[in-house]
């Protein structure tokens, strides 16, 4: 499809296991963002990638969280040794470089992570 694609849509894991969440942005979008939405909460910024620049990791909550973006396209968010408080919906978004568009971030439908 033409939108941001995320997988898996749902993931249930046991505490202590590692998980990987994937995001496939819209083709041609240079910026990619990860946000986290906990139950009843707003969206919490995690990390973003812009072209070949160093990613802004300032929102990652702990060193158990990491993300990479290969070839300027697909991104993987990895959570190591998951904890119950990691349970949330992880949203990915992409956008064109500012100046080329309205500034709109296009969001995927999210990956719902449940840590038992």
> Which residues fall within 8 angstroms of residue 59, CB to CB, at 6 or more apart?
44, 45, 46, 47
Bond into 26 cis (ω within 30): no
Cβ proximity to another protein: between 77 and 108 the closer is 108
Among 1, 28, 71, 103, binds another protein (CB under 8 A): 103
Assess 75 for contact with another protein (CB under 8 A): no
In the complex, what is the shortest distance from the CB of residue 81 to another protein, in angstroms, rounded to a whole number? 27
- Listed in sequence order, the residues at least 6 apart from 62 whose beta carbon sits closer than 8 Å to its beta carbon are none
CA distance 31 to 16: 31
Interface with another protein, residue 93, by CB under 8 A: yes
Which single residue is written with the structure tokens 């041609």?
A: 28
**Which is closer to another protein, CB of 31 or CB of 74?**
31
Task: Kindly list the residues in this chain that would bind another protein in the complex (CB under 8 A).
Answer: 30-31, 33, 35, 41-45, 48, 50-51, 53, 56, 89, 91, 93, 95, 97-99, 102-110
């Amino acid at each position: 499809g033409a939108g941001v694609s995320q997988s898996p849509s749902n993931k249930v894991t046991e505490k202590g296991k590692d998980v990987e969440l994937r995001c496939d942005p819209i083709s041609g979008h240079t910026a990619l963002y990860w946000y986290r939405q906990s139950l009843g909460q707003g969206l919490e910024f995690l990390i973003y990638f812009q072209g070949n620049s160093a990613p802004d990791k300032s929102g990652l909550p702990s060193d158990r969280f990491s993300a990479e973006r290969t070839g300027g396209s697909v991104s993987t968010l990895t959570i190591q040794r998951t904890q119950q408080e990691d349970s949330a919906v992880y949203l990915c978004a992409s956008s064109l470089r500012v100046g080329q568009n309205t500034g709109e971030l296009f969001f995927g439908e999210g990956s719902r992570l449940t840590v038992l």
